A and B are shown apart, each in its own frame.
Chain A
Amino acid sequence: MSPPLLAARGVAAGYHQRRVLHEVSLQVAPGELLAIVGPNGAGKSTLLKVLSGALQPWGGVVELEGRPLQTFDRRALARRLASLGQESGSAFAFTVLEMVLMGRAPHLGALRLEGERDLKVAQQALERFDLLPLAARSINEISGGERRRVLLARVLAQEPQVALLDEPTAFLDLKHAAEIFSRLAQLRDERAMAVVATLHDLNAAALYADRVLLLKDGRAVGCGRPEEVLTRDNLRLVYETEVYVGRNPATGTVMVLPAAR
């Protein structure tokens, strides 16, 4: 049996003296969208950092294709694993196209300029996120939502097997958020790319994710299909507030509404 694409086993992690994650395990298969949900401070972003190799776990192991993450060199890892963090741009006025082409860096030698194929990949990524008209604009002159899409396009240009996205729809309005999710779902299906995303929005998680990992205080409360994990009991326990859990009449997926007055 082949090993899972990305797996974390019993991962514990934190910053300085403060422990944020306790014994978290997960697996992601190609073509799967896993949503990590939970309240603020539950350890969602920390888990993502451990999965990307940016943060060394205190205990446990993260494996990519059955190999521990630390055994990959940075560039080899960056060809397989792309991250979208909370970065805010550059001190210098790079163009949108240049920014997306930076996703090609791990595929190129130190002194190589981007070639035809790199440009093609960047162009497709720009098209995918409706950014072509902005290609020549400076990344410091576009809006926060547009910059978010530029960063997603960069992740795409990296052609990874796994995309780790920290709040991919932060700063995006309803329409653009929905578009991002449907495009991520397309990519998952077309390229068998695995996507792991932290999400605030439980309804989006229910609608787009294949599986949901629910975190509270650095521990997994549940992991499985959205309707199995996003139950009234689980959510009351995790969010410590009254919720209504029903079905979205338009899509038939789980729908969560606040029910406390």
Chain B
Amino acid sequence: MDARAKASPMPPAPQRSAPEARDVAAIGQAHLTRARMAEVLGTLGVALLAVCVLGVMFGSVRIDFLRALTQPSSPDHAILFAARMPRVLMGAVVGAILAAVGAALQALVRNPLAEGGTLGISSGAAFGAILALVFAYRVGGGAGIVPLAGFAAALLSTLAVYRLGQMHGRIEPFSLLLVGVIFNTFWSALILLINSVVNLYQTRSILFWLVGSLEAPTYREVAAVGALGAGGFVWLMWHARDMNLLSLGDDPARDLGVDVDAVRRAIFIATSLMIGAAVSVSGMIGFVGLIVPHILRLAFGADHRLLMPASFVAGAAFLVAADLIARLVIAPGELPVGVITALCGGPFFIYLLRREGHRGIAL
């Protein structure tokens, strides 16, 4: 149930109740206020910080913190600063990107089941990145072309899925998802094809791309992906209110003054950039963009001016937590984090599909 419906001080009142001295400002949580934004984002920020601390403290091996901090030559120091810290930071950056992108794509296609994974955009980005890796390995070229190729392929995927998911100029929620699923399968097949033609072990393991993992990132990678993610996020935030209006349909949005094409372009390019960057360092980590925005929407409402930043922060916390679990469950061994998110996300997706299908999102 919608938490806000319950929080409403007003029971479903009879139609004819006269407009007494009731004030909409007094109805808590029926609309977005600065105080509510601060409260929600503050709480989520504290949660993110706590999860990050836990992520650095615990792992597949125990370390002595005193020694790690005081003896730069100790293995504890190396584990803390060369392995755990960048991994936690990368988890936060990638999780933030995936969740914010999910929320933006859901507004674009007016479907809460959309995200980089289900629309086949992540796998497109993975294919582009792999192609660039192979190319860079064979011919040579800077590491910069990998995320760039990921971005280009993601953009191509987004545009194609968006076009093919329309019938007579209208988005058909279920055909759009189906096209996404097909793209996902198609790109994955191409990835396997490349894998059998060239030896991907020269670059990164095929499992890394297909399941998604946060293994061994460098600080440079964290900084690069973080910068791209932050840039894309700011661009999306600029259109956060437009996303509210866009969810009503193209015509109502236009009538309310939205430059619909500009918003769409921003979402296409910004999300592709962000997914391209995230996938090129972590492979295809699924379902984060589905789970996080959905739970936030239930808890805090649908307004994208809060949903977007909340997804950014909560997505970071979610992936750091998932990665911590991935590092702990079979310690001293480690699971790829994508296994954890898929194990949570698969059932969640089915639940959403049944619920949304029941409510009839195929308007």
A residues sitting closer than 8 Å to B (CB atoms) are 52, 54, 74-79, 82-83, 85, 87-98, 101-103, 105-106, 108, 110-111, 113-114, 116, 119, 122-123, 126-127, 130, 132-133, 135-138, 140-141, 158
**Contacting pair A127 B19 (CB below 8 A):** yes
The contact size tier of chain B is 35 or more
Asked, given contacts A78-B256, A90-B302, whether A136 binds B7 with beta carbons under 8 Å apart, the answer is yes
Whether, in the assembled complex, B60 has its beta carbon less than 8 Å from a beta carbon of chain A, the answer is no
Asked, given contacts A97-B30, A130-B15, A136-B29, whether A102 binds B244 with beta carbons under 8 Å apart, the answer is yes
Residues of chain B from 17 to 64 with CB closer than 8 A to chain A in the complex: 17, 19, 22-25, 27, 29-34, 37
Give the contacting residue for B10; candidates A108, A110, A116, A136; CB below 8 A.
A136
Nearest B-chain residue to A133, judged by Cβ? B13
* Top 9 A-B residue pairs of the complex, sorted by shortest distance between their CB atoms: A78-B257, A106-B257, A136-B8, A133-B13, A92-B302, A75-B257, A136-B30, A127-B19, A83-B255
Q: Which residues of A contact B305 (CB under 8 A)?
A: 113
**Contacting pair A92 B24 (CB below 8 A):** no
**Contacting pair B256 A135 (CB below 8 A):** no
**Contacting pair A123 B251 (CB below 8 A):** no
**Contacting pair A98 B303 (CB below 8 A):** yes
B residues sitting closer than 8 Å to A (CB atoms) are 2, 4-5, 7-8, 10, 12-17, 19, 22-25, 27, 29-34, 37, 106-107, 110-112, 173, 237-239, 241-242, 244-245, 247-249, 251-252, 254-259, 297, 301-303, 305, 359, 361, 363
**Contacting pair A126 B24 (CB below 8 A):** yes
Give the contacting residue for B245; candidates A52, A102, A116, A122; CB below 8 A.
A102
Number of inter-chain CB pairs below 8 Å: 145
**Contacting pair B32 A141 (CB below 8 A):** no
Asked, given contacts A78-B256, A110-B241, whether A91 binds B23 with beta carbons under 8 Å apart, the answer is no
**Contacting pair A74 B258 (CB below 8 A):** yes
Asked, given contacts A92-B112, A92-B302, A98-B302, whether A122 binds B255 with beta carbons under 8 Å apart, the answer is no
